[in-house]
Chains A and B, each alone.
Chain A
Amino acid sequence: MAMQFMEGNEAIARGAVAAGCRFFAGYPITPATTVYNNMLRLLPPLGGICLQGEDEIASIGFCLGAAMTGAKALTATSGPGISLYSEQISFAIGSEIPLVIVNIQRLGPSTGSATRGADGDIQFMQWGNSGGQPVIVLAPVDIRDCYTLTAHAFNLAERFRCPVFLAANKEIAMTRESVDLDRLPLPAPVERRTADARNPFLPFATADGELVPRFLPIGGQRLVRQTSSTHGPDGYITTDAGIIDAMQKRLRAKIHSAADALALYDADIDPAADTLVIAYGVSARAVRKAVAARREQGRKLSLLVLKTLWPVPEGLLRENLAAHRRAVVVEMNLGQYVREIERLAGATRVDFFGQMDGNLLHPRRIAKAL
């Protein structure tokens, strides 16, 4: 056995490069800065572009421009930066621009605590932009997930032409761990599907039975229109209610209809258990310890660690909730994702255990709640 030693942010950067990312733009912010530092080290020798924007709005704007030429683009920030990204995120959603956004969550609200972790942006990443359309959010549990989920995030961004968040946490991103990246299985890189440039091109038209428009790059032989305005298939602003309705419904359906298919999770289900523990992110590590400790004491427990938070894997959750009398949702916040569990729980009782004081949840305290 031989291992490497690095922090989560380096694994994220290396996962991005492995997925084919050759464009990064960001603005320094603790605890996400070292994603940028690593991309600055990795990309130029590969012929890639790494830029520091004048602010977060510019950084994500650079990515949107580059993504429309066909590049796989990455940006990384923390809560205050996600706030500034908001208008550009809604642009990427509504205008179907593939992009991976790393959010190294830190304790908020606002500037909060730069060097304290929390999972306080879980609802914010989904809803913190105008228009209310779905996004994809993946949450790594440890350094291995930092590497592999980043690669998944690029594949999903390409496949669905949408922004994909990697919702990490200071406690994973800036913690150094032993890891062997070479032994971690990465998904095969996915490229966005392109239209045949020989045919007339409508930038937002979808073929029968498809929900994601075929892509052609800005700068190719075929003229491409990109617009943040409400548009029809031709990429021109429209006020036609029928066209608007179809476009809005498609944006929703392309993500929602795939929710269960793209769900990434670890299920450790005991058919004899009456309690299902649901966790994600760094807290899932402590939860695993707590569950193991309680099982040693003879308690029967099931554990579901979610790695895809949005779109909510409703089928998976409903099925597992129905098989248990009680669910305990553990989060490093004061109760966010538990709202999604509650609406799917049916007759299953839902309890919440969380804290948001800048410290990691302790396995012993979690065990008491189980």
Chain B
Amino acid sequence: MTSLLNTQRPPVFCPGCSHERVVTSLDKALDNRGLQGHQLVIVSDIGCSGLFDTFFNAHAFHGLHGRALTYATGLKMARPDLKVVVTMGDGGLGIGGAHVLATCRRNIDLTLLVLNNFNYGMTGGQCSATTPSEAQVGSGFLNRLEKPVDICTLAGAAGAPYLARLSAYQKDLSEQIGAAVDYAGFSVVDIWGVCPGRYTKHNQLTPKRIDERLADLPAVNGPVSENQRSEYSHAYAELAARQIDSDALTHIPAQFQAPQSGRREVVILGGAGQRIVTAGELLCLAGISAGLHVTQKNDYPITVLRGHSVSELVLDAREIGFTGIDRPDVVLALSPEGVARRPAMWPRLSSDAMVIAAKGVSLPHCNAHVEVLDFKAGKIKSADWALAALAVMAARGRVLTQEMLAAAVRHRFSGKVRDLALATIARATALTAEG
């Protein structure tokens, strides 16, 4: 049996501080399990409990207040074979509350020892999340206004599969800590102790009083049956192994000739549900099939199925510097929300520009050539109008050709979706012949 205590750096707590009992009990527990320093990481944060990592001959990771569980999670996920023990005070528990709850929900195999002494010792005895309302602490009257949390109740509700509420003075402390360390999942150990440096100067808290108060609470010590489930790093490995490698990147070969040379700008003004982004992508893929450089910028609200959807496309044989829209060559006006989204654009449209508008969408005055199409009469659903409008562009030889569009559709879609897209293109092309 070899202790992991660092004899060069003995504990430096105030005389009578219960933290020291936890140090020796933890050491005994680790020692009893035959754990060696290199198999173990002690992760700590700020405060008197944050000194723990310095007392052990083990890997050590000491970080910011309340964040110990974040480092521990990264360590454990990267090295699931390591034993990771995290120490924090009731201060770290409070400031890092979100991490405590999330770690309970995750159930990653870490052991959390909360050295709960009901106040912030290091900074002068201010109230923490566990300070009783009636205590006299360094926060004046403020703690009287807040209700303390019970760590085990909180952690249990958040899904912690192993809980223990202990006194730093109980005789079997090292066995209890050892059992938590053995548990293959997240174990939360709430260890009540006294802080003679700060807390017990003004408050009556003795080992006996701790026992009495613990006896008033329901006993919590061991696995929580309703929270038993797979440990996170194992479950992750299992699910990750089933993920299909979809890394393959596809190239679109340049095989066609674009109908025009020079920079071309297209703006698709539509609404949610009209597959505007997909149509923009198809136009870009078509451009790539003609050896063009392309860019696509999309603009839609953060909510879905409501409001505008605008896609701005630039195609150019040369590299594209400016990705914004300057003078659109073609505007597809497919919904009132989309048209309303670009009010400043309309007066600037030149007479060479073309607007393809769905019937019923009213347009501001402009100098461009406007072609109105009755997609409904052509039995084309609103969700396909953007694709249909691309087919109209292709039929008119604007920006893309029919073979470029067909190549884009074949690249982007397969099976039934592809057949439907090609059918939409055929119907839209027929509409242009009628018109």
Contact = CB atoms under 8 A, between A and B. Distances in A.
Interface in A27-47: 30, 41-42, 44-47
A61 interface: yes
A220 B41 CA distance: 11
A2 B243 CA distance: 29
Interface string B233-259: 000100111011111011111100000
Given A220-B38, A285-B322, A360-B324, A178 B59 contact: no
A195 to B, nearest CB: 15
A23 to B, nearest CB: 6
A228 B64 contact: yes
A176 B281 contact: yes
A343 to B, nearest CB: 30
Given A23-B78, A66-B78, A219-B79, A171 B323 contact: yes
Given A2-B253, A65-B71, A115-B299, A219 B82 contact: yes
A227 B67 CA distance: 13
A286 interface: yes
Interface stretch (B149-157, B289-297, B380-388, B396-404): B289-297
A49 B64 CA distance: 23
B77 A66 contact: yes
A180 B251 contact: yes
B62 A227 contact: yes
A58 B296 contact: no
B38 A62 contact: no
Contact of B297 (A51, A57, A175, A224): A175
Given A219-B59, A285-B322, A58 B70 contact: yes
A66 B74 contact: yes
A235 B60 contact: yes
B294 A223 contact: no
B240 A54 contact: no
Given A115-B299, A221-B38, A285 B252 contact: no
A355 interface: no
Interface in B17-72: 37-38, 41, 43, 53-54, 57-64, 67, 69-72
Given A2-B254, A222-B38, A236 B54 contact: yes
Given A175-B323, A285-B322, A68 B251 contact: no
A229 B62 contact: yes
A269 interface: no
A286 B244 CA distance: 40
Contact of A218 (B41, B287, B321): B41
Contacts of A69: 74-75, 78-79
Contacts of A62: 70-71, 73-74, 77
A344 B205 CA distance: 63
Contacts of B38: 219-223
A61 B81 CA distance: 20
Nearest to A359: B324
Interface string B86-128: 0000000000001101100000000000000000000000000
A315 B396 CA distance: 56
Interface residues of A, number: 75
Label chain A's interface by main secondary structure.
mixed
Given A54-B101, A65-B71, A285 B287 contact: no
Describe B's contact surface by its main secondary structure: mixed
B98 A55 contact: yes
B294 A5 contact: yes
Residue among A54, A60, A67 having the largest count of chain B Cβ atoms under 10 Å: A54
Given A5-B284, A223-B38, A178 B321 contact: no
Contacts of A91: 63-64
Nearest to A61: B70
A289 B67 contact: no
A246 interface: no
Contacts of A178: 284, 287-288, 292-295
B322 A360 contact: yes
A39 to B, nearest CB: 12
Interface residues of B, number: 69
Contact of A88 (B67, B76, B245, B298): B67
Contacts of B99: 54, 57-58, 61
Contacts of B297: 171, 174-176
B57 A1 contact: no
Contacts of A229: 62
Contacts of B320: 177, 285
Interface in A287-305: 288-289
B302 A114 contact: yes
A45 B302 contact: no
B79 A288 contact: no
Nearest to A286: B322
A176 B283 CA distance: 12
Contacts of A126: none
Nearest to B82: A219
A181 to B, nearest CB: 7
A70 B69 CA distance: 19
Most buried by A among B37, B240, B281, B326: B240
A177 B251 contact: no
B70 A5 contact: no
B416 interface: no
B285 interface: yes
A65 B78 contact: yes
Nearest to B292: A178
B277 to A, nearest CB: 9
Nearest to B254: A1
B9 interface: yes
- List 8 A-B pairs, minimum CB-CB distance, nearest first: A61-B70, A65-B74, A54-B102, A44-B240, A62-B74, A2-B251, A45-B245, A65-B71
Given A61-B67, A65-B74, A114-B302, 7 more contacts: A2-B253, A4-B249, A25-B74, A62-B77, A63-B74, A180-B251, A223-B38
16 contacts: A6-B249, A41-B246, A42-B247, A65-B74, A69-B79, A114-B302, A171-B323, A174-B297, A175-B297, A177-B294, A182-B251, A227-B62, A228-B63, A229-B62, A289-B322, A360-B323
